[in-house]
Structure 1
Amino acid sequence: MSDKQKTLANEYELNGVGLHTGRQVTIKLKPAAVNTGFVFVRTDLEGNPVVEADANYVTSTERGTTIEKKGVKIHTTEHLLAALTGMDLDNVIIEINNAEVPILDGSAKYFIEAVERAGIVEQDAEREYFVVKDIITYHDPETGSEITAIPADEYQITTMVDFGTKVLGTQNASIKNLSEFKDEIGNARTFSFLHEIEYLLDAGLIKGGDLGNAIVYVDKEITPETREKLTKAFNKENVSIRPNGVLDNITLHYPNEAARHKLLDVVGDLALAGTRIKAKIIANKPGHQINTNFAKKLSKQISIAKRKNVPEFDLTKPAIYDINQIMEILPHRPPFLLVDKVIERTETSCVGVKNVTMNEPFFVGHFPNEPVMPGVLQVEAMAQLGGILVLGEIEDRKDYSTYFIKIEGIKFKRKVVPGDTLVLKVDLLHPIRRGIVHMQGYGYVNDTIAVEAEMMALITKESV
């Protein structure tokens, strides 16, 4: 199954009104190069400044998520980012001619439709994932809100909401895969309580709001004063309450639409972590503040993982080549055979394992009181794995030999000692030409790089 990055096939333009500013705004979704991520471009400002969708740029979570870079702000990013993530995109440029993403109907529905009309294309680059290995939790003691990420093979999300009101009650929503987002979550609209609407109106906010882009749960009596405010703000002669406690502006798509919209917000806010996630997210009473704080925590963990640059290896996999098959490929023999098994192999890369034990003969003379695997043998182990990559599928491989011709950029970053499992990986840097093999090799112990080197070898056919 392909797991390439994706972007839009074409540009697509949307127009709408900012919820809080009430201003008309146009956004243009455009294709972007690999590894761009989601990037906002303010076309209304001099120089068209760029604001990346990055959790570290979050400056406000009051009634929506605002990101800001060098004084340039983008308000209410969550619904658009949720749509882009839920539609399986990686790289999109978002040109916007105002400071606020349009609210549209209060969901991600119209952004999803825009993506479908623009089309989606695969790009020539693999996706990068942050695989959650240990439980990650963020808790807000003031609100009781909590978000937890636990290991999982897919990006799964469960949200639970409880606002302590009879009109809304306790709700939950979940998806087991992002492929469910469009049909199950995308059209869930934002919501508010009547007392919040009054506060926002008094504060001069929700200038772009109307009774068609938000569910209003009536948690208090509608006084004549409140009724007058609502009829004036929403340009409606009369307002009333439905039997389910919702203002009579819209009909719910789902009984748990509030929980589904909270899940939508979680997807949009966690997109600010900047890397796709493999984990199950459990969000109890989520909101933009805890969502974005959790995204910042994830972003920090992702940065640490990238600095370590350690890929995922499943050491429980059956060997592609065991020690006997390796000896059929390589001319090396113990004690100078330094690869115990191979667990992955493609046309351009190979992953092998060296189990380092105290029985290694080199420990007799190499710091016997503090045994350390010699660095030169670590490089040799990577080279032998390179030989397996190159010779593994050649039928008459016994007629060929490989010899080092250059080694560059060697770095030893930690000691390799008895008891360590040295995971080796080599990648071809260029196609093999005239018998020249150009490889990058790495050796990993636990979650850190132990050794790395750029190697060049010559394949020669021995005369019979």
Structure 2
Amino acid sequence: MNVKQRTLSSPVTVSGVGLHTGAKVSMTFKPAPENHGYKFQRIDLPGSPIIDADVDNVTDTSRGTTLEQNGGSVSTIEHVLAALVGSEVDNVLIELDGPEAPIMDGSSIMFLDAIDTAGIIEQAADREYFSINQNIHYAEGDRKVEMVAMPSDDYRLTVMVDYNSPVLGTQHANITHISEFRKEIASCRTFCFLHELEMLLKHNLIKGGDLNNAIVVVDKEVNDDELGHLAKLFNRDKIAVAKEGILNNISLRHQNEPARHKLLDVIGDLALAGMPLKAHIMAARPGHAANVAFARKIKALIKKERRGKTIPVYNTSAKPIYDVNQIMARLPHRPPFLLVDKVMELSETHVVGIKNVTMNEPFFVGHFPGSPVMPGVLQIEALAQTGGILVLNTVPDPENYLTYFMKVENARFKEKVVPGDTLILRCDLLAPIRRGIAQMKGTIIVGDKIVCESEMMAQIARRPNA
């Protein structure tokens, strides 16, 4: 049974302050249509720009993950995305009136609670997963970061952190299915070391920071004066160091809460790959920069697989509809300018032809001698001739007509065409033929790659004296 996409039953709003900007912000999760995905919308900016939750839009990972698109940006989005993935919600528009998602308590639990309040409904479309079918590796030697995605029937994650800290030590966290996120991961808060906190405060980089939204690990000797100074900064009467080696502002929700929060960040950042995953993710010492780089590798594989799915496979050895002699009965072109060898498919709206490129083509004599490449203009001509067969198929006596090409637009040459290549030449009508004018999309495929694309316009006319 296929799993259906899901969205919210109704809008729901959460409010708070941004960790780094200190700006007050209200954020509304709104239902969205099928295949919408996750999108942010800055309703406080002119034009209310929409920002796709896409790894290609990441502009900064220094203190959280920042996206920018269409003149708008939004920061610290990883906890929001983790809550959506953990809730197994596929389509949401997230409106906010500030530059940064609210930090709340430093975890995803308040976002998850809001999603529960809104409710979740199934949609008609099936959810499409990206299944990892081979190991994908990522490493940063200088930071000792390692990440790998391995094949799995579910979305599993294992995270290890090791900061050479006597307080934290080495910690592990894992979930075996995304349904465990709510109970095991969602409430785990962000953390920082005391020396990092002091540096951030000194440079005014956590204007919305509060001791209620982070675990502070005490990684150095600290005296009463320093603790008193911190208490004053955060409007506390007194701050001390708890027996676990953290500031006593909060109690740990799990003994390995820092490792669990790193797992939360991995889930949020990998959502930027653009699809729900079926994989076992293992990460050692991950951070936002590594997570985003890993998401880019995964997205590249998604794009490659989608390209493969959209490129049809043709049996070039099958019996053709027209052989070269039948083609010459319809087209006026003759060797060496005839650039279609046979026609494999022909309907009212599309045609598929074949051209075998050999070393004895006359254009190779003077075009890049020593490094033969089929000229792009002749690739377009091969498409034009193939399209001509499609257009001539619309009249009862094609031998009495010619096709004249009127316009070529948006031609793109993506790969070289060299001797030995077999060109699959496909042309599709973009609109019905009217008054003898045809608009077509042409595509040339070699193997599993599209090498050329173009839009063309042609006019059919009777031959002189026909």
After superposition, the C-alpha distances for 1:243-273 in whole angstroms (9 at most, x for unaligned) are 1101101111111111110000000000001
The two structures have a TM-score, normalised by structure 2, of: 0.68
Instruction: Give the deviation of 1:373 after TM superposition.
Output: 3.8
Quick check: 1:18 aligned with 2:22? Answer: no
Aligned residue identity for 1:135: N
SS at match of 1:105: coil
Instruction: Give the deviation of 1:229 after TM superposition.
Output: 3.6
Q: In the alignment, what sits opposite 2:441?
A: none
Q: Distance in 2 between matches of 1:263 and 1:413?
A: 51
Q: In the alignment, what sits opposite 2:317?
A: 372
Q: In the alignment, what sits opposite 1:3?
A: 3
After superposition, the C-alpha distances for 1:271-327 in whole angstroms (9 at most, x for unaligned) are 00111111110011011010011111111111111111179xxxxxxxxxxxxxxxx
Q: Distance in 1 between matches of 2:255 and 2:275?
A: 32
Q: In the alignment, what sits opposite 1:301?
A: 301
- Alpha-carbon spacing, 1:166–1:81, altered in 2? closer, same or farther (3 Å): same
Q: Distance in 2 between matches of 1:86 and 1:127?
A: 15
Q: In the alignment, what sits opposite 2:135?
A: 135
Q: Distance in 1 between matches of 2:72 and 2:255?
A: 39
Q: How does 1:387-398 map to 2 (within 5 A)?
A: none
SS at match of 2:51: strand
Q: Distance in 2 between matches of 1:150 and 1:98?
A: 38
- Contact 2:8/2:115, CA 8 A, preserved across alignment: yes
Q: Distance in 2 between matches of 1:276 and 1:34?
A: 14
Q: 1:409 aligns with which of 330, 350, 354?
A: 350
SS at match of 1:101: coil
SS at match of 1:19: coil
Q: Distance in 2 between matches of 1:165 and 1:67?
A: 32
Instruction: Give the deviation of 1:70 after TM superposition.
Output: 3.9
- Contact 1:39/1:53, CA 8 A, preserved across alignment: yes
The two structures have a TM-score, normalised by structure 1, of: 0.69
Q: In the alignment, what sits opposite 2:439?
A: none
Q: In the alignment, what sits opposite 1:93?
A: 93
Instruction: Give the deviation of 1:411 after TM superposition.
Output: 4.6
SS at match of 2:101: coil
Q: In the alignment, what sits opposite 2:200?
A: 200
Quick check: 1:244 aligned with 2:244? Answer: yes
Q: What is the Cα-based RMSD across aligned positions, in Å? A: 2.6
Kindly name which structure, 1 or 2, has the bigger radius of gyration based on alpha carbons.
Answer: 2
Q: Distance in 2 between matches of 1:129 and 1:375?
A: 38
- Contact 1:310/1:448, CA 8 A, preserved across alignment: no
Q: Distance in 2 between matches of 1:405 and 1:6?
A: 41
- Contact 1:75/1:100, CA 8 A, preserved across alignment: yes
- Contact 1:309/1:448, CA 8 A, preserved across alignment: no
SS at match of 1:309: helix
Q: Distance in 2 between matches of 1:87 and 1:197?
A: 31
- Alpha-carbon spacing, 1:194–1:131, altered in 2? closer, same or farther (3 Å): same
Q: Distance in 1 between matches of 2:264 and 2:301?
A: 23
- Alpha-carbon spacing, 1:305–1:413, altered in 2? closer, same or farther (3 Å): farther
- Alpha-carbon spacing, 1:372–1:103, altered in 2? closer, same or farther (3 Å): same
Structure 2 unaligned segments of length 5 or more: list them. 323-344, 357-446, 451-466
SS at match of 1:197: helix
Q: Distance in 2 between matches of 1:3 and 1:414?
A: 43
Q: In the alignment, what sits opposite 2:157?
A: 157
Aligned residue identity for 1:39: K
Instruction: Give the deviation of 1:201 after TM superposition.
Output: 0.4
Q: In the alignment, what sits opposite 2:254?
A: 254
- Contact 2:212/2:249, CA 8 A, preserved across alignment: yes
Instruction: Give the deviation of 1:223 after TM superposition.
Output: 3.4
Aligned residue identity for 2:220: K
Q: How does 1:214-253 map to 2 (within 5 A)?
A: 214-224=214-224, 226-253=226-253
Q: How does 1:57-456 map to 2 (within 5 A)?
A: 57-224=57-224, 226-309=226-309, 372-374=317-319, 408-411=349-352
Q: How does 1:26-37 map to 2 (within 5 A)?
A: 26-37=26-37
After superposition, the C-alpha distances for 1:390-439 in whole angstroms (9 at most, x for unaligned) are xxxxxxxxxxxxxx995643557999xxxxxxxxxxxxxxxxxxxxxxxx
- Contact 1:65/1:78, CA 8 A, preserved across alignment: yes
Structure 1 unaligned segments of length 5 or more: list them. 312-353, 357-370, 378-403, 416-445, 450-464
SS at match of 1:41: strand
Q: Distance in 1 between matches of 2:297 and 2:257?
A: 28
Q: Distance in 1 between matches of 2:225 and 2:51?
A: 42
Instruction: Give the deviation of 1:174 after TM superposition.
Output: 0.7
Identity of aligned residues (%): 46
After superposition, the C-alpha distances for 1:32-63 in whole angstroms (9 at most, x for unaligned) are 01111100000110110111101111111112
Aligned residue identity for 2:317: V
Q: Distance in 1 between matches of 2:209 and 2:189?
A: 13
